[in-house]
Amino acid sequence: MPRRVLEPQFAIEHLSILDSDGNLDTSLEPEIPPDGLKRLYRAMLLGRRLDERMVRLQRQGRIGTFAPIKGQEASQMGSVFALRPTDWMVPSFRETAAMLWRGWPIEKMLLFFAGYLEGGRPAPDQHDLPITIPVATQVPHAVGLAYAAQYRGDDAVVMVFFGDGATSEGDFHEALNVAGVWHVPIVFVCQNNQWAISVPLKKQTHSRTLAQKALAYGFPGIQVDGNDVLAVYAASREAVERARGGGGPTLIECVTYRLGVHTTADDPTKYRSEEEVKAWEQKDPLTRFSQYLQKKNLLEERLEEQIDAEIAAAVQRFEATGAADPLTMFDHVYAELPPDLQAEREELRERLEKSAPRRSDEEVPPPLPMRGQRKTSRWQN
Amino acid sequence: MAKLNMVKALNLALHEEMERDPDVLIIGEDVGVDGGVFRVTEDLHRKFGGRRVIDSPLAEAAIIGTSVGMALYGLKPICEIQFSGFAFQCFHQIENHAARYRMRSQGRFHCQMVIRMPYGGGVRALEHHTESEEQFYAQIPGLKMVIPSGPRTARGLLVSAIRDPDPVIFFEAKGLYHAAREDVPDETETLPIGRAQVVQEGKDLTLIAYGAMLRVAREAAQVLHDEDGAEAEVIDLLTISPLDRETLVASVQKTGRAVVVHEAPKSFGAGAEIAASIMEGAFLSLEAPIRRVAAYDVSFVGFARERATVPDVARVVAACRQTLAF
């Protein structure tokens, strides 16, 4: 019996529309109304400015550890821009700009990173899951949401975010495999930012692209220039339309770069060169998009000032939040509090009555700062 | 009233709840066309179709992970993990997500889902097919851990678990699937989760067991009655977590003595929590140390040696006699 080829050789597309030198492929340029372009740029800039502000807030001890998005604004905004509010958005933990776009208030994001669970509660009408921290474990949830939408006959599409490191996890494989079998309305958005903390992509996989992994699951995958918001949007719109039309899942690999630290507890000088970072700074997604808007005369004046004022007002609202009421820790363990937990709650209530509630950071000396964190905070000095 | 074995009783509960509520669906390996390797989901695929009785790929994390997503959307999935020994491949989805979504989202979402798993020994099976792991789940806040002891409790607790708004881990003792038939009422019956049952009253000693060990405990009580003239009060725990401390403490306040029986290894098992709870609640009533009869602290021993480690009637009787004579 002869050997024969069962499948044709595959090819993977890479999509780029607006490159880092500002060259535009007008044949591929997506149609976005002027107002949409302005809102998109504003959301990207808000993501960048808030990110920079949050790094300072963290260094000052006003919020805890968080994962900055700097450099990935186009990847997350170009994709989430293709969703309707009734679609579902499933984040990992580095999607601040996309989450703000989906309706999370800035002060809620700050609350979340200041250790308040209230910051992770989506609004009742919001079709968004909260931040998930264990890598790739949110991907099967998104597939389940998509199955449920299909089961109920709803028109919703699910978009789930994860990084390049997540593609090495078992949950990634299981989720994409099931999504292919079930043919559910979902878009998998991989933010390939080149680094999973200190481990570069070449140590994650021997695949030429991450997008090609989709082919093994029987659905399309496409690689896009993740710093080109027009390319990310064009690919995402196509994938969302395919999903809504019953065409099943798509994997989009956004090739981007984390310009900042993995989290505020990370020191990237340990594992990557300054030259590499500088080279990627030349491909900054905001620079090329602002130039594109400039040519269209769509750049708003004093936009940065407006955004900074919006952030400052939100920081004020965040800092005006009262101390966390410890007693509420029992509110959402179960639908109904079992007797044991009622007793524990009662014990805590009595303790709190005896001594005024104190913040945990006042009771014990603060822990040693993590790498990169300054030792000062507003509570010591 | 029909006489059913535990497989048929569980199957009845699934039929009832799927008929009652279109949001209830079943997902697992071989649960559809095949009706499950233990036939618990028999006929459901034929009756409700492949969209509601999902033959999943062989992927435990996907079974639980996608079920979490379905539950967040408002569906009520019933997951079957083929054997509890395989649940470690989805343990992270249970602990990290199913148990925590209510807390993480501060009540905006919750996971109304049941995770059924056959557990326990006594069926001459291979490694990963005979273990008891209830203690891992009982320790996780946000989960409920339920183990029925026979057909009637299985049916009543499964209906309650499906209707419970919180995630329920539902262990089914393999040794009980076909062990006995019991009268199961025709009309739907629910049993409260979080409540133990005193299945036999007695004044001399409290004997606490659950799952397949309940039968062992009852037989031991009979031996004590026949040979020693001692009356043991037998408690069927039914729910491991949240633990019904009230029933345990009330019984030991009466008897002054307690023996706990379980199939899982002794150290850090449910027996330790039960003993501590009795100490806290009935210390001044105790006449003897609380004893635990459990599997030895060894991992799988192979079924050729299994009977030497899983508690049997003689071992329980011996422990009770020591406790009574203390």
Question: Is residue A375 domain-resident?
Answer: no
| Inter-residue contact B33 to B4 (CB < 8 Å) | no
CB–CB contact B66 A120 (8 Å): no
CB–CB contact A171 B142 (8 Å): no
Amino acid at B151: P
From chain A residues 2-21, the ones with a CB under 8 A of any chain B CB are none
In a shared domain, residues A38 and A92: yes
In a shared domain, residues A252 and A145: yes
Alpha-carbon gap, residue B247 to A83, rounded angstroms: 53
Sign of CA dihedral A182, A187, A193, A196: negative
Tell whether A183 lies on the interface with B, counting CB pairs under 8 A. Answer: no
Does residue B109 carry a pLDDT above 80?
Answer: yes
Alpha-carbon separation of residue A228 from A191, B197, B206, B277 (angstroms): 13, 65, 71, 61
Q: Which CATH number characterizes residue A60's domain?
A: 3.40.50.970
Angle at B98 between CA B95 and CA B100, to 5 degrees: 75
In a shared domain, residues A57 and A28: yes
Of A319, A347, A367, which residue sits at a domain end?
Answer: A319
* pTM metric for this prediction: 0.95
Angle at A140 between CA A138 and CA A143, to 5 degrees: 115
In a shared domain, residues A344 and A295: no
CB–CB contact A143 B62 (8 Å): yes
In a shared domain, residues A156 and A264: yes
From chain A residues 360-379, the ones with a CB under 8 A of any chain B CB are none
Question: Is residue A238 domain-resident?
Answer: yes
Average pLDDT of chain A is 93
Q: Check residue A381 and give its pLDDT.
A: 35
Size of interface A-B (CB pairs under 8 A): 131
Residue in chain B lying closest to A181 (CA): B57
CB–CB contact B102 A177 (8 Å): no
Query: Edge-to-edge strands of the sheet including B24-28?
Result: B53-55, B24-28, B76-80, B114-119, B168-173, B144-146, B239-241
- The token pair at B287 is 């006449």
Question: Is residue A6 domain-resident?
Answer: no
Q: Check residue B104 and give its pLDDT.
A: 98
In a shared domain, residues A27 and A164: yes
* Chain centroid, CA B22 distance in Å: 26
Question: Is residue A108 domain-resident?
Answer: yes
- The token pair at A29 is 């340029």
Domains and CATH numbers, chain B: 2-184 (3.40.50.970), 197-325 (3.40.50.920)
Share of chain B above pLDDT 70, in %: 100
Interface test with A, best of B90, B108, B239 (most A CBs within 10 A): B108
Sign of CA dihedral B304, B308, B314, B316: negative
CB–CB contact A333 B65 (8 Å): no
Tell whether A122 lies on the interface with B, counting CB pairs under 8 A. Answer: yes
Residues of B in Cβ contact (< 8 Å) with A120: 104-106
Does residue A46 carry a pLDDT above 80?
Answer: yes
Alpha-carbon gap, residue B158 to B172, rounded angstroms: 10
Q: Check residue A369 and give its pLDDT.
A: 57
In a shared domain, residues A313 and A341: no
Q: Check residue A363 and give its pLDDT.
A: 55
Does residue B293 carry a pLDDT above 50?
Answer: yes
In a shared domain, residues A97 and A211: yes
Active site residues of B: 129
Q: Per-residue pLDDT averaged across B198-220, rounded?
A: 98
Chain A: closest CA distance from residue B185 (Å): 28
- The token pair at B228 is 């020693």
Q: Which residues contact A21 (CB under 8 A, 6 or more apart)?
A: none
Alpha-carbon separation of residue B151 from A97, B8, B141, B190 (angstroms): 53, 8, 28, 13
Interface test with B, best of A116, A152, A178, A347 (most B CBs within 10 A): A178
CB–CB contact B142 A334 (8 Å): yes
Q: Check residue A378 and give its pLDDT.
A: 45
Residues of A in Cβ contact (< 8 Å) with B57: 174, 177-178, 181
- Residue A271 among the catalytic residues: yes
Q: Per-residue pLDDT averaged across B234-262, rounded?
A: 98
More confident site: A294 or A358? A294
CB–CB contact A143 B142 (8 Å): no
CB–CB contact A141 B92 (8 Å): no
Does residue A370 carry a pLDDT above 70?
Answer: no
* Tens digits of residue pLDDT in B223-241: 999 999 999 999 999 999 9
Q: Check residue A197 and give its pLDDT.
A: 94
In a shared domain, residues A337 and A213: no
In a shared domain, residues A129 and A186: yes
CB–CB contact B105 A137 (8 Å): no
The count of other CB atoms within 10 Å of the CB of residue A164 is: 24
CB–CB contact B66 A178 (8 Å): yes
In a shared domain, residues A296 and A210: yes
Does residue A367 carry a pLDDT above 60?
Answer: no
How many domains, chain A? 2
Domain range spanning residue A337? 326-358
Alpha-carbon gap, residue B25 to B75, rounded angstroms: 8
Q: In the beta sheet, which residues pair with residue B200?
A: B234
Question: Is residue A11 domain-resident?
Answer: no
Of A268, A298, A319, which residue sits at a domain end?
Answer: A319
Q: Check residue A85 and give its pLDDT.
A: 97
Q: Per-residue pLDDT averaged across A237-263, rounded?
A: 97
Q: Check residue A313 and give its pLDDT.
A: 98
Q: Check residue A380 and give its pLDDT.
A: 41
Alpha-carbon gap, residue A202 to A179, rounded angstroms: 26
Alpha-carbon separation of residue A240 from A156, A329, B207 (angstroms): 10, 38, 60
* Chain centroid, CA B231 distance in Å: 26
Alpha-carbon separation of residue A34 from A22, A150, A299, A333, B69 (angstroms): 18, 34, 10, 47, 36
In a shared domain, residues A310 and A340: no
Does residue B88 carry a pLDDT above 60?
Answer: yes
Residues of A in Cβ contact (< 8 Å) with B105: 120-122, 129-130, 332
CB–CB contact B65 A141 (8 Å): yes
Which one of A62, A94, A242, A262 is the catalytic residue?
Answer: A262
* Tens digits of residue pLDDT in A84-108: 999 999 999 999 999 999 999 999 9
| Beta pairing class for B232-236 and B197-200 | antiparallel
Q: Check residue B110 and give its pLDDT.
A: 98
Q: Check residue A377 and give its pLDDT.
A: 46
- The token pair at A42 is 């504003």
Residue in chain A lying closest to B143 (CA): A334
Residue in chain A lying closest to B66 (CA): A144
Does residue A113 carry a pLDDT above 80?
Answer: yes
Chain A: closest CA distance from residue B109 (Å): 9
Of A262, A291, A319, which residue sits at a domain end?
Answer: A319
- The token pair at B126 is 């291979």
Does residue A167 carry a pLDDT above 70?
Answer: yes
Residues of A in Cβ contact (< 8 Å) with B96: 134, 137
Q: Per-residue pLDDT averaged across B272-285, rounded?
A: 98
More confident site: B156 or A6? B156
Residues of B in Cβ contact (< 8 Å) with A152: 73
Question: Is residue A10 domain-resident?
Answer: no
* Tens digits of residue pLDDT in A227-247: 999 999 999 999 999 999 999
Alpha-carbon gap, residue B148 to A214, rounded angstroms: 43
Chain B: closest CA distance from residue A359 (Å): 20
* Tens digits of residue pLDDT in B146-205: 999 999 999 999 999 999 999 999 999 999 999 999 999 999 999 999 999 999 999 999
Q: Check residue A355 and give its pLDDT.
A: 82
Q: Give A4's pLDDT tier (boundaries 50, 70, 90).
A: confident
